[in-house]
Chains A and B, each alone.
Chain A
Amino acid sequence: MLEIEIDGKKVQVAQGSTVMDAANKLGTHIPHFCYHKKLSIAANCRMCLVEVEKMPKAVPACATPVVADMKVSTQSDRALKAQKSVMEFLLINHPLDCPICDQGGECQLQDLAVGYGASGSRYQEEKRVVFNKNLGPLINTDMTRCIHCSRCVRFGQEISGIMELGIANRGEHSEVMAFVDRSVDSELSGNAIDLCPVGALTSKPFRFAARTWEMSRRKSVSPHDSLGSNLVVQVKHDEVKRVLPLENEEINECWLSDKDRFSYEGLRSADRLTEPQIKHGGEWHKVDWQTALDYIVRSLKDIKTDFGAEQIAALVSPHSTIEEMYLAQKLVRGLGSDNIDMRLRQSDFSLDGKRAGAPWLGMPVANLSTLDATLVVGSFLRKDHPLMAQRLRQAVRRGGKLARVNVTSDDWLIPLVAQSVVAPAQLVAELAAVLAALAAKLNVSVSSECAEIVGSAIQSEAAQAVAEVLLTGEKRAVLLGNLAAQHPNAASIHILSAEIARLASASFGILGEAAGSVGGYLTKAVPTIGLNARQMVESPRKAYILLGVEPALDCADGAVAKAALAQAGTVIHIGSFVGDAAEYADVMLPSAPFTETSGSFVNTEGRLQSFNAVVKPLGETRPAWKVLRVLGNLFALDGFDFESSDAVRDEVLAGDFSARLSNVVSGVVPKADAEPTGLQRITDIGIYSTDPLARRSPPLQKTRDAAAPRARLNPATLAQFGIEAGSDVTVSSSQSRIQLRSQADMSVPQGCVRVSGAHASTVALGAMFGELSVERT
């Protein structure tokens, strides 16, 4: 540690720190634009010039390393003169359009100009004009306002991992742009808006919607992925106008994924369900809550009486709060059924009853950023976990090594040291090969469960290289992605990966599919003796309760789910949107999206985060936890006397529940998959197709990530079938056939076809895994 002095105040900082670091530690504000704690140092705006004793010129605080006994003045004449002249230079070509600028009121340039700017301008020449760019549906540009701080460019290079924006030309003609008017397609792109210190990059969906000072700011938690990003939801006239990150260094840092940031645009979708409705004679009728609830009580009682409670099934969205899930399972069990599940896209449930606890990340999220060696298994990492991918990217930037065993080699924008990319049915065998290689390198034996499969493993160079990675560094982890959880042989993947982690002395974790995935286990929104999500649709029931679920899109086999609903006597749809429920449901209850209810999520690291409603429920919408509570009362069930969602939460998750998190399983022997004959389907869930709210956000649906699914095949496979890339093809499953545009994709292994799920155009194909055939149309 060194001691330096800033404006007469002494502070101790580590060697290698900058003057800015020292000032931050002291709480001394030094004006700046290009400096950002999460980005590399550019020292280009020159706003942070300060005076340092014995230095002939003012120096930028952001880039000047501290030396012992340095004396810095941030307010001396020389420092102020430098800062004021820089401010003048910044303003000479900046438009005077603050009254119509969306950044007005939250603009660093505006704020600092008040302190460091002159009242009039000495600049009498013509101001520069820069043409605006179309960067896609999320970011609006007004490039004349740009002050060239390069934060947005560095963000791309360093954080999102893709340099979509650059500064072209030079001198005064420099301008931030994307290559020939391309859009910015990164799933983290919205952060560039936050980083822009002026109004050059602003939110397109939010454009002209409100002034920052007119909105109230309310804390919330993202309902989308398993990270549970902290949000600031900005509200005006009881309407959500914008979502920004609430900084939490341990979770989302200062970032948000675009999904978390822009999904709110779906809240006011025309498809919102705002009144209870009952289908009568094929027609939907708006009814009051009492009528709707009475109808439900009657129908379920009838079915229970006529067919037995086991004919009642509940499918719960994994994006539900713990309060919703807890009450849902309490209701279903109160009715005498154990058919409840929130693991809608899973197809292998053979670990049920063998788990020691709720599957979770196995470590704090923040630790991802400092891992030395990581193996990710079965994941569309970048799209499924944008910010956790970002943390792994930082780990690699720090020198960590990343390897994967996966079914596609799609670009994670992270340099990989090793990878093994195989068809889904080979995934288990490949993991066995990695485990065998690791055991051989360490000269240890594998567990008895794994011994047989490892014994028959076929070695590959790739598997050796992957194993090698796990022998490096000190902080190691093996992480399972969504595909690993959804795989038809998920149990074997889990056991082999856990064994790899054990041998490598690595942490073992599950990245987690959704905001409620951990909560679903903790609240027992999973069956103990009853039917799981797959069985509930494969063995059709008489009555279904759907909580926030659109089964055709949210289940592992949407076609089978649809068929099950079609034959049911009663389908109760509790959700925020109508969707296809109008076809299959008998009663629809409008439940609150996350912005209109209080509730809690337990994120993948096991962190409980509660939030309040930020706006009033729209129309007759009610928080789902209240609806379920009233239903419990109407069924005269015990234990439904909750006054608040907090009370529900405290009942299910009182005290420290960390002991209930565990990835340990026992008593299952991994088994190899059979060698398939046809093309194997690989299914990803589009980043903006994951859940009903994301699916209804117009700006997100306009992004490239939301483009209609294609049949993506390796060029070699295309050639083998005589299909020209880009032509229309017929894709058939055992259930049906659909038309899709084909696409050559080197990242897809040979003998496979990648077709995205959770999309209306591909539901008919059925299961996420299995065999498909592809023919020229």
Chain B
Amino acid sequence: MLSIESLRLIDREIAKYPTDQKQSAVMGALRIAQQEMHWLSSETIEEVASYLGMPVMAAYEVASFYNMYDLKPVGQHKITVCTNLPCALSGGVEAAEYVKQKLGIGFNETTADGKFTLKEGECMGACGDAPVMLHNNHKMCARMTCAQIDSLIEDLSK
């Protein structure tokens, strides 16, 4: 069950759209739900769908279509590294390799302690700041040299 705080935030999303278009808020609602629950279980998707009065399969379609929703549990810190061409030209792949080596996991894997999940990302629209990584979807980490990666992981490990 989502908290009152989350439902309030969802209400704010709903208020952005015409009253007969509550479904427009589904992306925001799923984002808010995922922030609270850390991933989107079927129960959570069902709750969001019923809150918005839309078919649950339509909500599932949305949740499974967009990359940043996690339909399976992820580690406490999800790190998504962009390896697309512009980033790769400035070391995006090398940075990803460095993270892999440091955490001892590959893409789509989670460390044994459940702390870190590593994902390969597509263009984040920040190619000028390559290498770039996203922490838990919402925090962009730019210009990630090995030293920066070290300190990021150190901070998150605390």
Whole-angstrom distance from the CB of B61 to the nearest CB of chain A? 5
Report B-chain residues with C-beta under 8 Å of the C-beta of A164.
Answer: 57
List of A residues within 8 angstroms of B56 by Cβ: 179
Min CB–CB distance A470 → chain B (angstroms): 24
A473 and B56 CA atoms in complex are apart in Å by: 34
Asked if residues B64 and A165 are in contact (CB atoms below 8 Å), the reply is no
Most chain A CB within 10 A, of B42, B57, B61, B65, is at: B57
Q: Is A55 an interface residue (CB 8 A)?
A: no
- Flag the segment in A167-175, A511-519, A538-546, A561-569 that touches B: A167-175
CB <8 Å contact, B42 and A163? no
- In the bound complex, residues from chain B placing their C-beta under 8 Å from that of A169 are 64-65
Q: Which residues on the A side are within 8 Å of B57 (C-beta)?
A: 163-166, 178-179
Question: Bound state CA distance, A162 and B55, in angstroms?
Answer: 8
Residues of A within 8 A of B46 (CB): 179
CB distance from A184 to the nearest CB of B (A): 10
Give chain B residues whose Cβ lies under 8 Å from the Cβ of A178.
57
Interface size on A, residues (CB 8 A): 12
Verify if A707 is at the interface (C-beta below 8 Å from B).
Answer: no
Q: Are A179 and B42 in contact (CB under 8 A)?
A: yes
Name the contact of A163 in the complex, choosing from B45, B55, B64 (C-beta under 8 A).
B55
Chain A, residue nearest B41 (CB): A180
Q: Chain B interface residue count: which class?
A: 10 to 19
Give A166 to B64 CA distance when docked, in angstroms. 11
Chain B's closest residue to A157 (CB) is B55
The residue of chain A having its C-beta at the shortest distance from the C-beta of B58 within the complex is A163
**Across the interface, do A166 and B42 meet the contact criterion of CB distance under 8 Å?**
no
Asked, given contacts A179-B42, A180-B42, whether A170 binds B60 with beta carbons under 8 Å apart, the answer is: no
**In angstroms, how far is the closest chain A Cβ from the Cβ of B49?**
9
Closest residue of chain B to A166 (Cβ to Cβ) is: B57
> Known contacts A179-B42, A180-B42; is A166 also within 8 Å of B60 by CB?
yes
CA distance A163 to B53 in the complex (A): 13
Closest residue on chain B to residue A170 by CB atoms? B65
Which residues of the other chain, B, contact A180 by a CB distance below 8 angstroms? 42, 60
Q: What is the 8 Å Cβ interface bit string for chain A, positions 450-470, against chain B (1 contact, 0 not)?
A: 000000000000000000000
Shortest C-beta distance, B101 to chain A (Å), equals: 29
Report the Cα distance A167→B45, complex, angstroms: 16
In the bound complex, do residue A168 and residue B61 qualify as a contact, i.e. CB atoms below 8 Å apart? yes
Give the residues in chain B near A163, CB-CB below 8 Å.
55, 57-58
User: Which residues of A, 145-177, contact B by the 8 Å Cβ criterion?
Assistant: 162-170
Given A179-B42, A180-B42; A167-B55 close (CB under 8 Å): no
The docked-state distance in angstroms from the alpha carbon of A166 to that of B58 is: 7
Report the separation of the CA atoms of residues A165 and B60 in the bound assembly, to the nearest whole angstrom. Answer: 10
List the A residue with the shortest CB-CB distance to B63: A168
Measured CA separation A178–B64 after assembly (Å): 13
A177 to chain B, nearest CB (A): 8
Contacts of A170 in B (CB 8 A): 64-65
Whole-angstrom CA separation of A164 from B61 in the bound complex: 11
Q: What residues on A are CB-neighbors of B55 within 8 Å?
A: 162-163, 166
Kindly state the separation between the CA atoms of A513 and B79 in the bound complex, as whole angstroms: 62
What's the least CB distance linking B53 to chain A, in Å? 12
List the A residue with the shortest CB-CB distance to B61. A166
Point out the residues of chain B lying under 8 angstroms from A167, CB to CB. 61
Q: In whole angstroms, how far apart are the Cα atoms of A606 and B28 in the complex?
A: 53
Distance between B71 CB and nearest chain A CB, rounded to angstroms: 9
CB pair B60–A179 under 8 Å, yes or no, is yes
Contact string against A for B residues 22-55, beta-carbon threshold 8 Å, 1 for contact and 0 otherwise: 0000000000000000000010011000000001
Complex CA gap A646/B56 in Å reads: 52
A59 CA / B72 CA spacing, docked (Å)? 40
How many angstroms between the C-alpha atoms of A165 and B65 in the bound complex? 15
A178 to B46, CA, bound (A): 13
Report chain A residues within 8 Å CB of B64. 168-170
Q: Which residues of B contact A165 (CB under 8 A)?
A: 57
Closest to B54 in A: A163
Per the 8 Å Cβ criterion, residues 58-82 of B in contact with A are 58, 60-61, 64-65
Q: What is the CA–CA distance of A178 and B57 in the complex, to the nearest angstrom?
A: 7
In the complex, residue of chain B having the shortest beta-carbon distance to the beta carbon of A181: B42
Complex Cα distance A179/B57, Å? 5
Q: How far is the CA of A373 from the CA of B56 in the complex (A)?
A: 30
Q: Tell me the minimal C-beta distance from B51 to chain A in angstroms.
A: 16
| A495, B60: Cα distance in complex, Å | 48
A162, B46: Cα distance in complex, Å: 15
Known: A168-B60, A179-B60. 5 other contacts (CB 8 A): A163-B58, A166-B61, A168-B61, A170-B65, A179-B45
Closest 7 CB pairs of A and B: A166-B57, A163-B55, A168-B64, A180-B42, A166-B61, A179-B57, A169-B64
26 intermolecular pairs with C-beta atoms under 8 Å apart = A162-B55, A163-B57, A163-B58, A165-B57, A166-B55, A166-B58, A166-B60, A166-B61, A167-B61, A168-B60, A168-B61, A168-B64, A168-B65, A169-B64, A169-B65, A170-B64, A170-B65, A178-B57, A179-B42, A179-B45, A179-B46, A179-B56, A179-B57, A179-B60, A180-B42, A180-B60
